[in-house]
């Protein structure tokens, strides 16, 4: 019997004690234990300073299929890359710890796998629970990414993205802004540029990409969000991706 996981779930974590105590890992486990396929969950810690690591270690001891990896602090993008490289599943999904898009939304992605898509990304609609400031930031960023990178997606920033493992390797091994020795944005930042670089490279590779509507709700405004700082960093990283493209660094 082939015990290779069908699905690897990568969850980046940075000072997530509040969300963990809310039971987010229980909800992930509750969905996965009912599935008929093999799976694994990799919680990748980004140098948390609270009780995140201890909490996840205790959880993993009591729940089969869960593991935690402690990485140096380098930002969400670098943490996701580290997790994707450790994943062993045929498909690899990364999702946010707060479970704004809950694990059961994988049901909406499943049909696309049999259709031969290499990458499937979640698309949020309405964004309930999100402040006017965040919605305004999202609209402005969407306009810029369309103009600068010509990405034909409604929502590049949803933290619910699935990749064939082979496709993931091809994408993440080519990353320049958030890969290799680059740290990306330090802190718990939303790192908007990370998703842009991932999808830009996926398009360059001519991978088959699907965008699927998913349910999403923000459980309280994220403490790491700073409208001015995040807008600047998002624009900076967007321009970095464009400059790398002009310099031929993403040439296939």
Please tell me the CATH superfamily of domain 7-246, with its number. Answer: Spore Coat Polysaccharide Biosynthesis Protein SpsA; Chain A (3.90.550.10)
* Global pTM value: 0.87
Rounded Cα gap, residues 52 and 142, in angstroms:
32
- Give the pLDDT band (50/70/90) at residue 145: confident
Task: With a cut of 90, say whether residue 93 has pLDDT above it.
Answer: yes
**pLDDT band at 138, cuts 50/70/90?**
low
DSSP letters for 87-153: --SSEEEEE-TT-SS-GGGHHHHHHHHHTT-SEEEEEESS-TT--HHHHHHHHHHHHHHHHHH----
Strands 7-13 and 91-95: parallel
Hey, where are the domains in the chain? 7-246
Q: Tell which residue, 230, 251, 220, has the closest CA to residue 98.
A: 220
């Amino acid at each position: 019997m082939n015990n290779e996981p069908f699905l690897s779930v990568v969850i980046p974590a940075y000072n997530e004690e509040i969300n963990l105590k809310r039971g987010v890992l229980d909800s992930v486990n509750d969905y996965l234990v009912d599935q008929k396929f093999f799976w694994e969950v990799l919680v990748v810690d980004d140098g948390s300073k609270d009780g995140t690591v201890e909490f996840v270690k205790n959880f993993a001891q009591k729940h089969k299929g869960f593991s935690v990896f402690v990485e140096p602090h380098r930002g969400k993008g670098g943490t996701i890359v580290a997790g994707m490289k450790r994943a062993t599943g045929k498909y690899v999904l990364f999702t946010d710890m707060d479970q704004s898009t809950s694990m059961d939304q994988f049901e909406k992605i499943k049909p696309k796998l049999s259709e031969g898509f290499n990458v499937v990304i979640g698309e949020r609609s309405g964004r309930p629970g999100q402040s006017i400031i965040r919605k305004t930031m999202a609209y402005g960023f969407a306009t810029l990414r369309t103009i600068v990178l010509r990405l034909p997606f409604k929502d590049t920033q949803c933290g619910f993205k699935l990749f064939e493992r082979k496709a993931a390797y091809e994408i993440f091994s080519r990353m320049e802004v958030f890969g290799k020795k680059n740290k990306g944005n330090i802190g718990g930042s939303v790192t908007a540029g990370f998703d842009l670089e991932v999808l830009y490279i996926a398009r360059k590779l001519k991978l088959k990409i699907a965008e699927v509507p998913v349910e999403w709700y923000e459980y309280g405004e994220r403490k790491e969000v700073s409208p001015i700082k995040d807008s600047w960093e998002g624009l900076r990283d967007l321009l970095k991706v464009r400059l790398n493209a002009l310099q031929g660094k993403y040439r296939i």
